[in-house]
Structure 1
Amino acid sequence: MLALRAASLFSLFWAFAPVYADTCSEVRDNTDIEVSSPLQLAYTAEQTEYWSASCSALKPSCIIFPRSAAEVAAVMRVLNTNNEKFAIKSGGHSPNNYYASVDGGPLISTQNLDHVLLDPTTGVVDVGPGNRLDGVAAKLQGTGWTFVGGRIGNTGVGGLILGGGLSYMSAQYGWSASSAISYEVVLANGTIVTASATSHADLFTALKGGGNNFGVVTNYKLQAHPQGAVYGGNLVFVRTPALDAALLRAVRDFTEHNTDDKAAVIVTAERTNVDLIDSWILFLFYDGPTPPPGTFSNFTSLGPLTNDLRTRTYADLMALSNWVVLRGFQVQIGTETIPLPSAARAEEVLLGAGGIHAHWRNVSGTALAVPGIVASIAYQPFPKRIAQAARARGRDLIDVEADADRVIIEMNYAFLLPTDYDKMDGKMRETYGGIRERVVRWQAEGKLPNVYLPVFMNYAFYRQDYWGRLKAESRALAREVAQRVDPGGLFRGRTGGWKP
């Protein structure tokens, strides 16, 4: 009797238990959407397309390749019938595990959403999230128009714009997201909406710096800008202590004193344990065929080992930049934003024994025995003009005022062995944490301006408090929009990334 009663209760439980659909099987069996399983060629190829090998090591249950917003919507409706973790992938450039990668759940690749449709009269261009920046530049080559993209061609459009996007052209046009006219968005329930300044305006704002919390963007309508030939390339220097001081002072002075919005620089120090390489690599850009005399002389006059600056196409420059992507390496990236020190404080803040660059050298020096280590720090000017240009083009969540010049610092550690991931996790936290501690102390002492210093999403380490470093009103807007467009928390609860 007890056995029969137990059997009846068991049957009753399963009669009323929720039925969870397996996304891969449901999409494969009931739609025409392409689904690739492990060991299939498309699956294997897509898994290699990550910047960090740690992301490639995560194995999705399948990879889904939608070709339209309607197909993305169909996948969203299936995901609403289960509780599987999933990820959306544009270019896979974020090295943070689970942000554009997933282990054991479906991966939705936007690879086939790779359209670039330009109106040659207005310069309005529709761009799909399956594009990488070098691909967009190549497709626009010869049209006389350009997009406000990032600096590494391998970067995907989706992650760049949803994080804000810092560009060589930001002093002219603001963030990459500042050029967005509208977004086509598939919401969590499968509804397709257009977000713009006049339709779903709060969602439009939230998508500019809000990451992957609100839906899947299947089209970016962007305002392109006129462009012909550009000037740019790399300078490479062999590091010396004297050169450290000269380059850091040069980038400080460029941030404050450069008045030509067409000019941009990135000043990067790099060291490895391979043949004791210790160098500086500079990225210089001018939005025109020839910069005015003296524009970059503080850098070019310092005696670079190599100099490949020349007039070229923007597409060529984007393709050239991909040498920085190290295939097969584990990659970690972190960031800090600092106020630009005055000329009188530059020595203490940037150059001195207790300064930011010495701190980076001290921490990175303790990691040089890690196999394959490549440690780098990049100083990227963020002058007032970038904030002015962004604000002139509408609100975004980053919401930086033009009250001070700033520098965005990017830190990278690349290494060979997955077993070193946790150790290097600690090194990354020590690196950006030490910079932050110094800046807060200098601000309290009146040595640096006490200004708003957000964390730049595109460079942030997964442990950094992205939302906590934004303004309260930006956080509140993001939470309200996320709850309204995704009340069930599909994106906030089942994907990686920073959650408002």
Structure 2
Amino acid sequence: MSGKVAQAISALRETIPHGRLITPEAAEKYDSLNNSYLSGFESDLSPACIFLPESKEEVAAFVRAIRPFVGDVQFAIRAAGQQPLPGCANVQDGITIDLRNLRGLKVRDGNVEIAAGERWGSVYEHLEPYGLAVTGGKSTSCGIGGLATQGGLSFYSSREGFICDNVVNFEVVVASGEILNANAQENLDLWVALRGGGNNLGIVTRFDVRTFEQGPLYGGMVWYSKPSFPGQIAALVKELTSPEADVETHFMLSIAYAQLFGNDVVCLNQLYYTQPVEDPPALAPFTHVQPQRDEMNTMKIQTLVQAATEQTGAGQSKIRCLYMNVNVKADIETLTKGGDIWCEELEAVKNAAGLMCSYTLQAYPVSLLQKTSVRGGNVLGLDPSNDPVINVLLLTYWADKSDDERVIDFMQKALKRIEQTADARGQLVPFIYWNYAFSHQDALRSYGEENVRKLQKASKKYDPHGMFQKACTGGFKLFK
């Protein structure tokens, strides 16, 4: 531990003397916290200490205490630790501020106030008795922060827009140590900038999210074989580009591989219709695909809590996990060729220990993109006039650190070939979704020059000395 880090920790102990700092000497608790990330790439990092604030005032005290050490001491901000980008939510030899103890939920004036340490599962459980829902993560284990400040899709995206576009207020600690509210009436520029700006502008301690009336929905999973996948892509493109596209739908189509399936890939549709309608016509092309594994079909009317619990799936710690992504227009040939490329590159890593991976398509329909301006704007740079967009996610889990290099190589080669194919066909969309990005992908620059300038202007206003650029180095930075 460097002398400056030791001094910063001492300053924190004096400022917040309540045992909130966990160091490696407290091995059992430290290891439990540091090994609880989704991805082992984050747990590979060992901070000098982990700070567990229990109030917004303690977060503000942290910022004021650490400010004199900017340039010498680095810190990271952790919400749920579900984003696998290395260094995004943890830091080597610095201080990780872990927000898990900021808890609390309150329904007020048509919104739900969500403390930054909550997870979406708790939000859904809290709202269910009221007959309400929000645009939130599709998994109960997902934290609020990453999805609410970097875009994010929900079951209700087609109807309600991005998760970040439904945040009506951010309670945020800025570099001065002040606690501000950012909304349509106060600090408007900061409100818009936080809708995509990630950890560049402050530490958000509470999200106020718009609610809407919602009962049970229809959804689940359908498993089938790869020869049917091109037809499913065609059906997806047809639905998304139809003038009568149904705004109650949400689609995720995947080619998946896991060693427990044997040597062949399988295909999976994760489908949702946000009304309690059994087998709605808009989903029929995807639910009736043949041949399918009937015994694995989980389509049913269920609550939001049940749907998100099913989605939680393989979220576990101490495994190797990475995402990469590219966005393309809703073009059948580009998406089909992308799946073929992924399958070809997969052959080189099929024997990696514990390998589970997928080529997953998630839709950004026009109805979703149109909600951005209606809800006040964001900095993501996606334009509804460009027609539907498909996010192509390459997701990979594996067990052994010794396989890191070749798994990353497989993902990068597949991604590059998919990008080249899309670009050659004029179908590439210059947007990278931050939560699914790897270190070599510059998500912020993909928002476009105008939005980057807007973010930089907000940074200079609310963080004039660049604390969140110099000291909070994880993720993607505005001035690099």
Q: Which has the higher contact order (CA 8 A, sep 6+)?
A: 2
- SS of the aligned residue for 1:283 comes to strand
Q: Counterparts of 2:231 and 2:422 in 1: how far apart (Å)?
A: 22
Percent of aligned pairs with the same amino acid: 24
Name the CA shift for 1:252/1:365 in 2 (closer, same or farther; >3 Å).
farther
- TM-score of the pair, normalised by structure 1: 0.89
Pick one of 13, 24, 27 that aligns with 2:12: 27
Aligned to 1:459: 436
Matched, 1:91 2:73: no
2:327–2:430 CA contact under 8 A, matched in 1: yes
Q: Counterparts of 1:65 and 1:111 in 2: how far apart (Å)?
A: 7
| Equivalent position amino acid for 2:339 in 1 | H
Where has structure 1 moved over 6 Å in runs of 4 or more? none
Q: Counterparts of 1:45 and 1:116 in 2: how far apart (Å)?
A: 26
CA apart distance, 1:21? 5.7
CA apart distance, 1:326? 4.3
Larger radius of gyration: 1
- SS of the aligned residue for 1:32 comes to coil
Aligned to 2:379: 397
Aligned to 1:475: 452
2:325–2:391 CA contact under 8 A, matched in 1: yes
Query: What root-mean-square deviation, in Å, do the aligned CA atoms of Structure 1 and Structure 2 show?
Result: 1.9
Name the CA shift for 1:117/1:42 in 2 (closer, same or farther; >3 Å).
farther
Q: Counterparts of 1:116 and 1:363 in 2: how far apart (Å)?
A: 45
Q: Counterparts of 2:388 and 2:15 in 1: how far apart (Å)?
A: 55
Aligned to 1:315: 305
* 1:90-169 to 2 correspondences below 5 Å: 90-119=79-108, 122-169=109-156
Unaligned runs of 5+ in 1: 1-17
| Equivalent position amino acid for 2:365 in 1 | P
* 1:59-98 to 2 correspondences below 5 Å: 59-82=46-69, 83-98=72-87
CA apart distance, 1:234? 1.2
* 1:198-213 to 2 correspondences below 5 Å: 198-213=185-200
Matched, 1:365 2:350: no
CA apart distance, 1:40? 4.5
Unaligned runs of 5+ in 2: none
* 1:404-415 to 2 correspondences below 5 Å: 404-415=387-398
Name the CA shift for 1:316/1:22 in 2 (closer, same or farther; >3 Å).
farther
CA apart distance, 1:361? 0.9
Of 215-224 and 24-33, more deviation after overlay is shown by: 24-33
Q: Counterparts of 2:391 and 2:240 in 1: how far apart (Å)?
A: 11
| Equivalent position amino acid for 1:497 in 2 | G
Q: Counterparts of 1:192 and 1:472 in 2: how far apart (Å)?
A: 29
CA apart distance, 1:423? 2.6
1:87–1:102 CA contact under 8 A, matched in 2: yes
- TM-score of the pair, normalised by structure 2: 0.92
Name the CA shift for 1:40/1:327 in 2 (closer, same or farther; >3 Å).
closer
Matched, 1:433 2:416: yes
- SS of the aligned residue for 1:285 comes to strand
1:86–1:106 CA contact under 8 A, matched in 2: yes
CA apart distance, 1:20? 6.8
Aligned to 1:489: 466
Q: Counterparts of 1:494 and 1:131 in 2: how far apart (Å)?
A: 25
CA apart distance, 1:377? 1.0
| Equivalent position amino acid for 1:94 in 2 | Q
Q: Counterparts of 1:20 and 1:338 in 2: how far apart (Å)?
A: 44
Of 412-421 and 178-187, more deviation after overlay is shown by: 412-421
- Tell me the number of residue pairs that the alignment of Structure 1 and Structure 2 aligns: 465
| Equivalent position amino acid for 1:55 in 2 | E
2:133–2:213 CA contact under 8 A, matched in 1: yes
CA apart distance, 1:256? 2.1
Aligned to 2:169: 182
2:254–2:269 CA contact under 8 A, matched in 1: yes
Pick one of 383, 404, 411 that aligns with 1:421: 404
Name the CA shift for 1:399/1:26 in 2 (closer, same or farther; >3 Å).
same
Name the CA shift for 1:73/1:216 in 2 (closer, same or farther; >3 Å).
same
Aligned to 2:231: 246
Q: Counterparts of 1:195 and 1:105 in 2: how far apart (Å)?
A: 29
Aligned to 2:205: 218
Of 424-433 and 77-86, more deviation after overlay is shown by: 424-433
Name the CA shift for 1:293/1:125 in 2 (closer, same or farther; >3 Å).
closer
